[in-house]
Amino acid sequence: MSTPNAAEVTAVDQPIEAIHVPIEAWIAAFVAMFIGYLLFSENGFLLTENWEMAHEFFHDGRHSFGVPCH
Amino acid sequence: MHTNPVSIITRAALAGAAAGLLAALFFLTVSQSTLDEAIAFEEQASRQQDSETVGDSSVDTEEEPLVSRETQTIGAVVASLLYGALTGVVFGTVFAAVRHRLPSETDFGRASQLALMGFFATAVIPAIKYPANPPGVGNPDDVNQRTIVFVTLLGASIAVVTGLVVLYRWLKTRFDRPTAQVLVAAASVISFVAVLVLWPADTTVVPEDFPADLLWQFRIQALTTLLITWGGLGLFTGWLLSRGGKLLDLRQ
């Protein structure tokens, strides 16, 4: 386990190949960001009704992550 | 070596959840008491105001919270895990896309470098311009305006960090490494100062008698929460992409 194998040693000196990230992964990342916005930063800017409950549930969390809140 | 984007993103999301768990532990052991103190201060202040206006302190005008304090504690733990996991998904996607452009020679180093950039762009810069506030600080009337400037500042600082990486790679093709590093350091200072100056001033009004040390403690703890999250995300992702990942491979 402690000795690196040959592939690991040579990989250091060679430029590594680019990884193709499919569009689905980017969509997932944007969805994740949007969910993050809704959970942490939504104060009635996009949603007005029915969001109060989620807002209050995550209230301590959003404060502890430094997100603006009233 | 991992070249499958889905495997990288999954690992980063797992790493993020683990980092979020550490942030939740920090909340439960350290910052929750600060938050409780701030809420106690807020309630005391509103009671005083009520007794001044009504003239009778025995009348209980305190509004019942929509979600109890106990449930909000569970909410904070869930929020920490989600913050870590969601950040992990975004981090993993970006990591897969830019991995070959990051200067370190190992995945552990590359993940750490990207996490450091993420921490700087999404935690340090916002903390300088719009520092965190405990409950009881800030006017509900301008919360949407504060949210917009906060979110756009996040976007701008991510754009600046991206631009600086592109600039550094271009400078390296034209100059020797130390010169390129000095030039990119100068460009960083100029561009971040420009963003901090351009964005609207913080409109948060701190109540006059709010304890300064409590506000300071809360702000430092909020930044620490983000440091734990980003630090954990970078280190755990790096570990899962190297040695630790073998544990996951066995199950696949």
- Write out the residue range of the structural domain in which residue B13 sits: 5-119+210-251
Instruction: Name the B residues in 32-61 with CB < 8 Å from any A CB.
Output: 32, 35
Contact B87 A15 (CB under 8 A): no
What is the three-state SS of B189-220? HHHHHHHHHHCCCCCCCCCCCCCHHHHHHHHH
Quick one: pLDDT at residue B208? Answer: 87
Does the residue A45 lie in any domain?
yes
Output DSSP code: residue B68: -
> What digits encode the pLDDT tens for the residues B201-214?
998 888 888 999 99
Quick one: pLDDT at residue B62? Answer: 52
Quick one: pLDDT at residue A40? Answer: 83
- State the amino acid at position B230 in one-letter form: W
Please state the rounded mean pLDDT for residues B214-242.
96
* Contacts with A68 from chain B: Cβ below 8 Å: 130, 133, 138, 143, 146-147, 150
Radius of gyration, CA atoms only, chain A: 21
Please check whether residues B74 and B187 belong to one and the same domain. no
DSSP string over B138-164: S-GGGHHHHHHHHHHHHHHHHHHHHHH
Please check whether residues B221 and B153 belong to one and the same domain. no
Decide if B99 touches A, using CB distance below 8 A.
yes
Domains: count for chain B:
2
Residue in chain B lying closest to A48 (CA): B144
Residue in chain A lying closest to B1 (CA): A8
Does the residue A14 lie in any domain?
no
Does the residue A57 lie in any domain?
yes
Does the residue B130 lie in any domain?
no
Does the residue B21 lie in any domain?
yes
Instruction: Considering only the beta carbons, identify the residue of B31, B99, B147 that sits closest to A68.
Output: B147
Please check whether residues B90 and B156 belong to one and the same domain. no
Does the residue A10 lie in any domain?
no
pLDDT over threshold 50, residue B13: yes
pLDDT over threshold 90, residue A42: no
Does the residue A5 lie in any domain?
no
- Write out the residue range of the structural domain in which residue A36 sits: 19-64
More confident residue, A44 or B62: A44
Does the residue B124 lie in any domain?
no
Residue A67: both structure tokens together = 């997100």
Distance CA B75, CA B83 (A): 12
Contacts of B164 (CB under 8 A, 6+ apart): B184, B187, B188, B191
Please check whether residues B107 and B216 belong to one and the same domain. yes
Please check whether residues B113 and B152 belong to one and the same domain. no
Decide if B201 touches A, using CB distance below 8 A.
no
This model of the complex carries an ipTM of: 0.84
- State the amino acid at position B45 in one-letter form: A
**What kind and span of H or E run contains A4?**
none
Contact B83 A25 (CB under 8 A): no
Please check whether residues B164 and B85 belong to one and the same domain. no
Does the residue A43 lie in any domain?
yes
Decide if B226 touches A, using CB distance below 8 A.
yes
Please check whether residues B104 and B179 belong to one and the same domain. no
* B39, B64, B72, B204: best to mutate for the A interface, most A CBs within 10 A: B72
* Contacts with A46 from chain B: Cβ below 8 Å: none
* Contacts with A18 from chain B: Cβ below 8 Å: 99-100
Please check whether residues B14 and B103 belong to one and the same domain. yes
